[in-house]
Amino acid sequence: MCHGVFQDSPEASTKTLFKVVRKKLNLKILLQVSRKQVTLEEMNTTTAPIRHLIFRASWCDKSLGGGLRAKRLFFLELAMKKIPLTQGKFAIVDDADFEWLNQWKWRALKGSNDNWYAMRRQRQNSKRIPVYMHREILKPSSNMLTDHKDHNGLNNQRNNLRAATSAQNHQNRRKHRGISRFKGVCWNQQYAKWQAQIKVKGKHFHLGRFLSEIEAAKVYDKAATKFFGDFACTNF
């Protein structure tokens, strides 16, 4: 998870920032007003998995037209395209992948985890086998899964996809059901407290009981980050 919001910027940082915007990411700048922010680390990466990168500028830059007031926000559109699916849905893909993927007709399929995926069928020998768009793009080995970093099964931009084992894919799942609104947290009725727990390599570990649901969630996050690394799906 990234920390620190890019707000007060010296001239050197400003120069670096706009160099990234114009030369590395090649993005179109749209001036908007919003309360949302983005971290400097997200701003400086070319593989950010989100649709828009938003950062708060606390300076004026005449090179962008002049007269821009402080505390404005710039919305930066990533290069991406949409492929229509059935049921009124669409898949998001990189520009470079659009043409060859759009040669087929894709359908929207709802998975067991209530997530949606893009798939088609192709004939192999005498059978019609399913082909999932995310696997078609990433082409992982047969013993690996394709994990969507942002949990959106229809966001098939390459920066959102990564090869994962079954365990790693499960570690990145969001909370699905239960009394608590947080992953790794449940209500212990016997002690009338919130209980944090985690499952690692098939074994359940008790992390403690807490009066605060949020405190229990933070304890789970710390453990998940320790055991699961980049695949940890944290609450905060």
211 vs 175, more confident: 211
The band of 178, judged by pLDDT with boundaries at 50, 70 and 90, is confident
Annotation: CATH topology of 81-164: Homing Intron 3 (I-Ppo) Encoded Endonuclease; Chain A (3.90.75)
The band of 76, judged by pLDDT with boundaries at 50, 70 and 90, is very low
Task: Please say if the pLDDT value at position 7 is more than 60.
Answer: no
Identify the CATH number of the domain defined by range 178-231: 3.30.730.10
The band of 124, judged by pLDDT with boundaries at 50, 70 and 90, is confident
> In whole angstroms, what is the distance from residue 106 CA to residue 120 CA?
5
CATH 3.30.730.10 domain extents, the chain:
178-231
Neighbour count for residue 105 (Cβ, 10 Å): 11
> In whole angstroms, what is the distance from residue 34 CA to residue 56 CA?
9
What is the percent of the chain with per-residue pLDDT over 70, rounded to a whole number?
67
> In whole angstroms, what is the distance from residue 172 CA to residue 168 CA?
6
pLDDT value at residue 45: 42
- Residue 128 sits at φ, ψ, to 5 deg, of -105, 110
pLDDT value at residue 69: 36
